[in-house]
Structure 1
């Protein structure tokens, strides 16, 4: 449900929409709605959003916002990411409050996964 002045939607570029869709479906069970050949949307993921066809990528190193997933089992989630053709670009590290790793999906957008569980 959209709430007044709350984050509601996020968009990312994706050079390969098919590979990006396949990755998020395999790794996280996402569903997508196609809106023509150059845009796909996702929902029911805590924040709704979409991917638009572009030869760009969002990474934290380039100043892009880093969206972070939560996991109750970090190693299982990391295995799903790798199995779905994601690339770990920052291996698991500890920080105050937990552990996390960063990954790139097939179009090069960076995300992270964190857990407060051992």
Structure 2
């Protein structure tokens, strides 16, 4: 049986971060995300499909679930990430169904970007 609406779908992702302004700049520049502040210690982000938050004050830990973003143009996206201050930790590689690469953001979270092209 298929899930209906938001049931059983990823709905929100939260990052503990050391500097909300730096993370806003990184994800805004690299991916064009929008933001809404909820005081000095919390900022919600939206990529146009999924929302999440940046929380200040908690322990920043690299790792956790691997969040995978989609991009029509991997090369352009990789350049944008590097320009915004991210580090490519696994260059573009092929896998069944497409290509992807992994990067870390300024606080060390590892994410991936994939494309079916």
- What's the TM-score, normalizing by structure 1? 0.85
State the superposition RMSD in angstroms. Answer: 1.5
Is contact 1:19-1:107 (8 Å) kept? no
Say whether 1:8 aligns with 2:11.
Answer: yes
Say whether 1:50 aligns with 2:53.
Answer: yes
Cα deviations by residue, 1:63-116 (Å, 9 ceiling, x for unpaired): x11111111111011001101111111111111111111111112211110011
SS of aligned partner of 1:83: helix
Any unmatched runs of 5+ in structure 2? none
Say whether 1:103 aligns with 2:103.
Answer: yes
* Residue aligning to 2:90: 90
* Residue aligning to 1:23: 26
Q: Evaluate the alpha carbon distance shift between residue 14 and residue 92 of structure 1 in structure 2; reply closer, same or farther with a 3 A threshold.
A: same
Structure 1 residue ranges (4+ consecutive) displaced by more than 3 angstroms after TM superposition: none
Count of residue correspondences? 112
* Residue aligning to 1:74: 74
- What's the TM-score, normalizing by structure 2? 0.86
